[in-house]
Structure 1
Amino acid sequence: MANQIIENTKDRMEKAGMALQAQLGKIRAGVANPSILRDVKVLYYGAETPLNQVASVSVPEARVLLITPFDKTALKEIEQAIFASDLGLTPSNDGSVIRLVIPALTEETRKDLAKEVKAEAEKAKVAVRNVRRDALDQAKKEELSEDELRKLEKDIQGLTDDGVKNIDSIAASKEDELLTI
Structure 2
Amino acid sequence: MISDVLAETKDKMAKALEAAKEDFATVRTGRANPLMFQKIMVEYYGSPTPLGQLASLNNPEARTLIVTPFDKTALKEIEKAIVAAPNLGANVGNDGEIVRVTLPELTQDRRKEFVKLVREKAEQAKVSIRNIRRKAKDDLDSLKEVGEDEIARAEKDLEATTKTHVDAIDDALKRKEAELLEV
Percent sequence identity is 45
User: What residue in structure 2 maps to residue 44 of structure 1?
Assistant: 44
**Counterpart position of 1:113:** 114
Match of 2:130 in 1: 129
Equivalent pair of 2:89/2:103 in contact (CA under 8 Å):
no
Moved more, 22-31 or 80-89: 80-89
In the other structure, the counterpart of 2:83 is 83
Matches within 5 A, 1:145-164: 145-164=147-166
Amino acid at match of 2:181: L
Q: Which range is displaced more, 2-11 or 32-41?
A: 32-41
* CA–CA separation in structure 2 for the residues paired with 1:46 and 1:121: 34
Q: 1:132 to 1:48 in 2, by over 3 A?
A: closer
The answer for unaligned runs of 5 or more in structure 2 is none
- Find the residue that maps to 1:154 and give its secondary structure: helix
TM-score where L is the length of structure 1: 0.93
Query: Would you say 1:102 and 2:103 are equivalent positions?
Result: yes
Query: Any idea what SS the aligned residue of 1:9 has?
Result: helix
Counterpart of 2:24, as a letter, is L
Q: What one-letter code is carried by the residue in structure 1 that aligns with 2:175?
A: S
SS state at 1:28 partner: coil
Q: Does 1:179 align with 2:176?
A: no
Q: CA deviation at 1:49?
A: 2.5
Give the Cα separation in 1 of the matches to 2:47 and 2:132. Answer: 37
Partners of 2:48 and 2:133 in 1: how far apart?
38
Give the Cα–Cα distance (whole angstroms) in 2 for the partners of residues 50 and 16 of structure 1.
Answer: 21
Q: TM-score, normalised by structure 2?
A: 0.92
Matched, 1:166 2:155: no
Shift of 1:74: 2.2
How far does residue 162 in structure 1 lie from its aligned partner after superposition? 0.4
The count of corresponding residues between Structure 1 and Structure 2 is 181
Structure 1: gaps (5+ residues): none
Deviation at 1:53, TM superposition (A): 2.1
Instruction: Identify the range of structure 1 (99-108 vs 37-46) with the bigger mean alpha-carbon deviation.
Output: 37-46
Separation in 1, partners of 2:21, 2:123: 13
Shift of 1:83: 2.2
Q: Tell me the amino acid that sits aligned with residue 79 of structure 1.
A: E
Deviates more, 1:38-47 or 1:143-152: 38-47
